[in-house]
Structure 1
Amino acid sequence: MAQPNALTTPPPGSDTHVGAHTEQPAPHKGAFPPFESHTFLSQLIWLALAFGLLYYLMDKVALPRIQAILHDRANRLSSDLDEAQRMKSEADAAGAAYEKSLADAQSKARDIAQETRNALAAEAETKRKALEADLNQKLAASEATIRQRTGEAMGNVREIAGETASAIVERLTGQAPDQASLDRALDRAATAH
């Protein structure tokens, strides 16, 4: 059987150990490195350097950018507020002008409506008077026509009454009455009514 060589590796699964060539990690002894007292000075120096570098970068690079952004934002807000105030003033002025023009238009509309009512009332009054005059004229003409026709009708009635009375007298008495006595009787009957 051959002897294992110290440089050869054992086959997998074998329990053989190579004694001198295998190193195991040594157990850690001592404090946590940041808490070791002999490294405090170097740690404080690096802390001061890191803080100084961070402070310098913040002071010269980051903070000016943030300050510029805040300044721009404040300017933009201020200009936006000024613009909003200007637009509000314009809107208020436009609203006041609109209200004034609306009030003027309503006043003019009332004036025009009143003038139209007055003109229509005057026109209606003129037409009414013209119609009344026309109706009065027609009424007078109608009354004249009625009087004329009544006169004609009364003349006809007198004539018919005379003929009827003459016929009745003639039938009763057998002789015709004279015309003069018949006219006097008809005149007395007409004046009695």
Structure 2
Amino acid sequence: MHRTPRLFLFAAPLAAVPGRAVAAGMPQLNVHDPLLIGQVVWGAVIFAGFYIVLSRSALPRIERVLSNRRTRIQNDLDIARRAKAESDRASAELLSTRHEAAAQARANVERIQNEARLSAEAHARETAKRLEADIANAEARIAQSREQALSSLPAIATGTAQNLVSRLIGEQDEQTIASAVKRVSA
């Protein structure tokens, strides 16, 4: 159904071409034709007319469009270059700031470590002093307890000797026992 109109559209121009023109070849290329000079002249006139009309009306508009496009592209490229330069500066500044922050953080860590070490050393010294004082107090208490024990030793020895003598012999001579304990302990 659709093929018939299309076939007619292709067949109609072929039917309109006279057989003699097709058989003779292309008349445009026939140099001996007297109409060729007129066709060339009129072609040149029409071309010149089109050129003049287009150069006065369409070509300036096309040139303005191309010039505007070039200007806009150049402006966009300049903006992009400035943005890239600004981005590079910001990136370099960020990198520099990061390096400075890292160096400052390292310095802070070292300072805190040194403070902690010094604090630990001071605490250790204070603990050592306190322990030395505790040891000195303990030694003094031990010496005092020893002195008390040694000073009470003759009385204990005398008492023990009296108890032993009274159990063994049954009598108690306190003077003799005390002088004997003094001789032995001296």
Identity of aligned residues (%): 29
CA distance in 1, matches of 2:34, 2:93: 85
Are residue 135 (structure 1) and residue 134 (structure 2) matched? no
CA distance in 2, matches of 1:159, 1:151: 13
Contact 2:154–2:181 at 8 Å: present in 1 too? Answer: no
CA distance in 1, matches of 2:172, 2:155: 15
TM-aligned CA deviation for residue 47 of structure 1: 4.9
CA distance in 2, matches of 1:141, 1:183: 31
Kindly report which structure 2 residues correspond to 1:90-129, keeping only aligned pairs within 5 A, or say none: 90-129=86-125
Are residue 146 (structure 1) and residue 145 (structure 2) matched? no
Are residue 78 (structure 1) and residue 77 (structure 2) matched? no
In the alignment, residue 180 of structure 1 is paired with which amino acid?
A: S
- 2:162 corresponds, among 161, 166, 175, to 166
CA distance in 1, matches of 2:97, 2:19: 94
CA distance in 1, matches of 2:135, 2:78: 83
| 1:60–1:121 distance in 2 versus 1, CA, 3 Å | same
CA distance in 2, matches of 1:44, 1:102: 78
Contact 2:157–2:181 at 8 Å: present in 1 too? Answer: no
What are the superposed Cα offsets for residues 113-170 of structure 1, whole Å, 9 maximum, x if unpaired? 3233323322332232222212211210111012212332344454333312221122
Contact 1:166–1:182 at 8 Å: present in 2 too? Answer: no
Contact 1:170–1:176 at 8 Å: present in 2 too? Answer: yes
Q: Which stretches in structure 1 are left out of the alignment for 5+ residues?
A: 1-28, 189-193
Compute the TM-score of the two structures, normalised by the length of structure 2: 0.67
Contact 2:166–2:172 at 8 Å: present in 1 too? Answer: yes
CA distance in 2, matches of 1:95, 1:30: 79
Bigger Cα displacement from structure 2, 167-176 vs 101-110: 101-110
Aligned residues, how many? 159
TM-aligned CA deviation for residue 69 of structure 1: 1.2
Contact 2:158–2:181 at 8 Å: present in 1 too? Answer: yes
| 1:168–1:74 distance in 2 versus 1, CA, 3 Å | same
State the structure with bigger RCO (CA 8 A, min sep 6), 1 or 2.
2
Contact 2:154–2:182 at 8 Å: present in 1 too? Answer: no
Residue in 1 aligned with 2:181? Answer: 182
SS at match of 1:175: coil
Contact 2:165–2:172 at 8 Å: present in 1 too? Answer: yes
Cα RMSD (Å)? 3.1
